Copies of this chain bind each other. A is one copy, B any other.
Amino acid sequence: MIEYYDVSGCYILRPWSFFIWQQIHRWLDGKIQELGVQNAYFPCFVSQEALRAEEEHVEGFAPEVAWVTKSGTSELTKPIAIRPTSETIMYPSFAKWIRSHRDLPLQLNQWTNVVRWEFKQPTPFLRTREFLWQEGHTAHSTEEEAAHLVRSALDLYSCVYTDLLALPVIKGVKSLEEKFAGSVYTETLEAFIPATGRGIQAATSHYLGQNFAKMFGIRFEDDSGQKQLVHQTCWGFTTRCIGIMIMVHGDDRGLVLPPRVAPTQVVLIPIPGKEHAGIEARCRELASALKDRGIRAEVDARQTYTPGWKFNWWEMKGVPLRVEVGPKDMAQGTCRLARRFDGLKKDVDQAQLSSCIPAELDQIHEAMLEKATRHRDDGIATVTRWDEVMPMLNQRKLILAPWCESAESEAEIRSRTKEEAPKPGLSSDAAETATILTGAMKSLCIPLMQPLMPPGTKCFVTGEPAKRWALFGRSY
């Protein structure tokens, strides 16, 4: 999937992982266009002045901004930043382009690399100093229209997870502490990693209100000739999703790829026998019939490896379906299917192979999503009192609890869970605990789907009246 690189925090996306990003790109880009959003490309550089125009926003990024100060051997007169995100790059142009209500909505998107020079431990896909993403930026005449677009983008992102990556996500709103700096509110998708019991932010969509419009002077003349500030949104989807996919679906034998994004969906492996040449030719015929149906099929006819070695190799690479053709299969006109994700095997007539595979891949997708959803649901503990929190957290669960949503309680949650976390070397299974069950719990989101809350329900932290159910957890 990746190769390490000699600049810390940067990784190479090899064809196997880049293909997955391309599949997502192609699908999501089409859906974004259907929203009436157009693609464009803005420079990767931003001047100091523009970057600093929106203070609250820049504060969130300032420590992570990479600065270009030299070209060749000469010093630049002013340092120039590399985009960590493009609000301050795009919005001065928005101010130029928008004059009248007829220029609205202005809806642009770009697919780019961005740079955030983080100093936390880098992790492939999850925390990298350069990553690839799509960022949408829109301006509207009304808050309602903008809010609708914020949600539409979130819904698309959710479909990428469920329909392409076979991953369940929880839609929600970020707390004020956790929202994007400069936004009025941030909608989010949160995923769950069963192996570590941690939540992970999967994508976000922001309503910016008129915050940036004020700073950059983005005004339009309404129907009645009045100057008004626009209402803005921005929303982004990154290569992080590939990391989430790997962590949720992967197993001890390696990757498990969901069929719709797998570079190779079906690998055909000839099992040599006396009729060896005939078997390989038959595999190629079968593969060709599959390709005609739009299935990404491949024959592994390498002479230098045994079938067993090849089984392991393709399992490690996560290919959803293996088709074996041996001498016995040839005699019977059948072949053997083996599913990567659950090991299920069955024999199928060769003549029926190409017609049954599309449904088989869909079934694998559904089964993977179902399994991941079950694990996710099992990973959420509903809690109403603080003393239930740490035991659940240490059983690698997320916490769904009634919350008052105050900033103080959010700080309180972090500090208490940090203090109460098991200390390495003191707990019963120290080694594992030390690596996994550390770190403070924080709010992940306030889910859009709220269980009924009985009247008089108290906040699980402060005992004050609870506003809504919120999801908490250790996170990435």
Contact = CB atoms under 8 A, between A and B. Distances in A.
A449 interface: no
Contact of A115 (B12, B44, B129, B304): B44
A72 B63 contact: yes
Contact of A7 (B19, B80, B130): B80
A66 B62 contact: no
Contacts of A97: 3
A258 to B, nearest CB: 20
Nearest to A43: B10
A327 to B, nearest CB: 26
Contact of A68 (B19, B46, B64, B68): B68
A79 B72 CA distance: 11
B64 A71 contact: yes
Contacts of A196: none
Contact of A41 (B12, B46, B304): B12
A96 B72 CA distance: 29
B71 A68 contact: no
A47 B6 contact: yes
Interface in A11-48: 11-15, 18-19, 21-22, 38-47
A117 interface: yes
Nearest to A129: B45
A115 B80 CA distance: 13
Contacts of A40: 12-15, 18
Contacts of A22: 39
A321 B113 CA distance: 36
Nearest to A110: B18
Contact of A10 (B11, B45, B70): B45
A55 to B, nearest CB: 15
A6 B66 CA distance: 18
Given A3-B96, A10-B45, A44-B113, A108 B70 contact: no
**Which of A64, A115, A132 neighbours the largest number of chain B CB atoms within 10 Å of its CB?**
A115
Contacts of A6: 47, 49-50, 92
A69 interface: yes
Interface residues of A, number: 56
A82 interface: yes
A67 interface: yes
Contacts of A385: none
A140 B95 CA distance: 51
Contact of A5 (B19, B21, B43, B130): B43
A96 B4 CA distance: 11
Nearest to A97: B3
A72 B68 contact: no
A11 B43 contact: yes
Interface in A341-380: none
A102 interface: yes
A71 B66 contact: yes
B132 A41 contact: yes
Contact of A47 (B7, B46, B113): B7
A117 B73 CA distance: 11
A65 interface: yes
Interface of A: 3, 5-7, 10-15, 18-19, 21-22, 38-47, 49-50, 62-73, 79-80, 82, 92-93, 96-97, 102, 108, 112-113, 115, 117, 129-130, 132, 302, 304
Closest 7 CB pairs of A and B: A71-B117, A10-B43, A15-B38, A63-B72, A67-B70, A13-B41, A7-B45
